[in-house]
Structure 1
């Protein structure tokens, strides 16, 4: 691979709009996997006349090897290991401890992001789960399973780039998948972006704050649908 195909996450979101344009008029709910995909979901929600929120899941790192994901856990405490993890002979007690630790971190993150506002309900909605790319796909799989359990009308996975094997596994969990690139020589998600900075919680909270101000302004202007909205303009590049 020579020049990375995407300038940054917002460029990737812009390029996904045509593939999701059929959702306009259905008030889609864009759910971002934090933290990198939050600005992407906000951008897509604006372009598709939808709403956005976050879906909170955490990777489960292997005991003693935090860089290696063996599964993921969602906000309800549901967790699942990858197929590879099942063959490693890991200590069940160590896995239970890691699940408990990551679940506690999820609760803390929810409090930081939206302590005074519950997540937007997904039941009977067209839901699009957005991430900035798929490597193992463990986090996306956990997010899709968690959302599916809450009864969406249609569930879509949308990413700019993915490892082909991971995307095939994810496709079984979604009603539709949107992916712009599946490189044969996939390396790491960040390799496909020219600018791929780490995103901190402060940036996520800023976007959520702007979203709420936008909603309140719409309410003040007499928009009857504004109370349900969670859309905002991402920062200009």
Structure 2
């Protein structure tokens, strides 16, 4: 299965999640790549769009490989205990936490994050490689007491999918290939999403939600 782009993947996810239309779900995107996709899902389900802020933790000599993740409260985990005492990891946590706080100020100026308490809440990412950021996102949102917590991704590594299933009430994944190497291999267009696009998506969604019904 190959997706044209994130919007195509979002449309397909929206179809797979159609049963939640009418429940006014909270759709939380993991920035930045998942935000345009989650906006499509939120539109399809007549839901509310917001972001859940988490960031992978990398090692000094391999920053792209996720050995864990951190959320904006400062909670973090490391997937391999052997990496727990690695020099530089505490500095990496401080750096990523500062980044998350900057992003919150940029994405949601003057407003608190959407509250997942007692709501059907769907966390969307554009794919699971190690699954680290999704694990952190599910942990962060579970602490708010959602009515139902759903992980929704177009594609995932089978091992990572297994890791997140224990943390969500429901997992929706369109494709879990055995030959998974990277999320981007399953998209024709996988260009980087910039902060400006994230802000624009959130502003459009908030403006639409503020309109009177039928307006």
Instruction: Give the structure-2-normalised TM-score.
Output: 0.95
Question: Is the Cα–Cα contact under 8 Å of residues 14 and 40 in structure 2 kept in the other structure?
Answer: no
The alpha-carbon deviation at position 196 of structure 1 amounts to: 0.7
In structure 2, relative to structure 1, the CA distance for the partners of 1:197 and 1:102 (3 Å cut) is: same
Q: CA deviation at 1:207?
A: 1.3
The answer to whether 1:45 aligns with 2:42 is: yes
Query: 1:124 and 1:162 mapped to 2: Cα distance?
Result: 28
* Counterpart residue number, 1:229: none
> Are positions 1:86 and 2:77 aligned together?
no
User: What's the counterpart of residue 25 of structure 2?
Assistant: 28
Distance in 1 (CA, whole Å) between partners of 2:59 and 2:173 is 28
1-side partners of 2:84 and 2:24: how far apart? 45
Q: Report what 2:58 is aligned to.
A: 61
* Distance in 2, Cα, partners of 1:38 & 1:207: 7
Does the 8 Å contact 2:78/2:84 carry over to 1? Answer: no
Of 69, 73, 93, 1:76 maps to: 73
SS in 1 for 2:171: strand
SS in structure 2 at match of 1:26: coil
Structure 2 residue runs of 5 or longer lacking an equivalent are none
1:16 Cα deviation from its structure 2 partner? 1.5
Pairs aligned (count): 215
Q: Does 1:107 align with 2:104?
A: no
Alpha-carbon shift at residue 5 of structure 1 (Å): 1.2
Query: Which residue, out of 85, 90, 99, partners 1:96?
Result: 90
Question: Which residue number corresponds to residue 205 of structure 1?
Answer: 199
Say whether residues 1:155 and 2:149 are aligned partners.
yes
Q: Where do 1:130-149 residues align within 5 Å?
A: 130-149=124-143
Q: Give the CA deviation at 1:64.
A: 2.6
Q: Using the alignment, how far apart are the partners of 1:81 and 1:182 within structure 2?
A: 24
Cα distance in structure 1, aligned partners of 2:129 and 2:145: 27
Structure 1 Cα separation of the partners of residues 67 and 162 of structure 2: 18
